[in-house]
Amino acid sequence: MQIIRKIKDLRRVIGSLKSKRRSIGFVPTMGSLHEGHLSLIRAARKENQQVVVSIFVNPIQFGAKEDLKRYPRNFKKDLASCKKEGVDIIFYPDIKEMYPQGYKTYVTVQGLSDLLCGKFRPGHFQGVTTVVAKLFNLIQPDTAYFGQKDAQQVLIIQKMVQDLNMPVLVRVLPTVRELSGLAMSSRNIYLTVDKKRDALVLREALIKARELIGLGENDPKEVVRKMRQVINKNKAAKIQYISIVDLKELKPIGRIKDHALIALAVYIGRVRLIDNAIIFRDVLKRNLKVSRLLRRDTFALT
């Protein structure tokens, strides 16, 4: 396994792989790897001849009052995890390598980046798309792997790839959860045992939404109202937003007809957590037992 810190060295290695027509699977991360990241790495390992993982805490996607300085970092542990999963290359640049003095170029996907999480984190998705565009340009992957937990991020990246004619297939894999049902996140490390228990209200609210829609409720306002009731029962939880939107433009829908994205952001104490579910109404209408349905974490984004 190679650890590469410099862009010039990365270009040389990637150039060699491309000359040999080796397929490249790429998993971009900010480190503090958990089972969700590892599921992406395993998929990349299975489907490609070479696997590249980037570890870079990207400063331009953090707001002024966000947790850049204290964002969890454990490169030694990440290195061991990557080695165990058969990663071929780790790209581990510093900030000056990615954003040298005088850097002035940014990538923005208009219309999608200021909704949902973007409404509350101005500039966040510009930071994401800029760094991902740079990484795609440097690594030239055949396939890049992302998790459904960051559904808005994935849709924005897919749109960027489409609009800029990037020759990259974006693969989206299901959210990986802890045994309790809490979506895995690097920020879960901030949660105490009690706070992790409190955080289960995000999942409980999504389950409530699925139950309601499966029983025929098609008014998103009513679904959101019931979700709020579930979350507000926990005094440690503070809702930032709950939205039911379409899967292309992320705009609120008047009726739940065919499919929809249910997305929410909730503070548990000082920790901001996100989660989502993608609902296909025809799936929910099938004669499946509710218990079986709710164990499923559908569904791939397209």
- If one compares 302 and 19, the residue with the highest pLDDT of the two is 19
Residue 134 and residue 222 in one domain? no
Range of the domain at 218: 186-294
Residue 115 and residue 246 in one domain? no
2's enclosing H/E stretch is strand 2-4
Please give the Cα distance from 233 to 87 (Å, whole number).
44
Cβ atoms < 10 Å from Cβ of 174: 16
Residues 6+ apart with CB under 8 A from 287: none
Domain boundary among 127, 149, 173: 173
Mean pLDDT of 5-19: 98
CATH number of the domain bearing residue 200: 3.30.1300.10
pLDDT score, position 259: 86
Residue 32 and residue 151 in one domain? yes
DSSP assignments along 121-154, one per residue: STTHHHHHHHHHHHHHHHH--SEEEEEGGGHHHH
Residue 161 and residue 267 in one domain? no
The string of pLDDT tens digits covering residues 222-275 is 999 999 999 999 999 999 999 999 999 999 999 998 889 999 999 999 999 999
pLDDT score, position 281: 64
Is 299 a member of any domain?
no
Residue 140 and residue 194 in one domain? no
Is 41 a member of any domain?
yes
Is 102 a member of any domain?
yes
pLDDT band at 283 (very low <50, low <70, confident <90, very high): low
The string of pLDDT tens digits covering residues 54-94 is 999 999 999 988 989 999 999 999 999 999 999 999 999 99
Q: Please give the tally of structural domains in the chain.
A: 2
pLDDT score, position 241: 98
270: alpha, beta or left? (left if phi > 0; alpha if psi -120 to 50) = alpha
Mean pLDDT of 128-145: 98
Residue 40 and residue 148 in one domain? yes
Q: Which residues are catalytic?
A: 37
Residues 6+ apart with CB under 8 A from 3: 79, 89, 90, 92
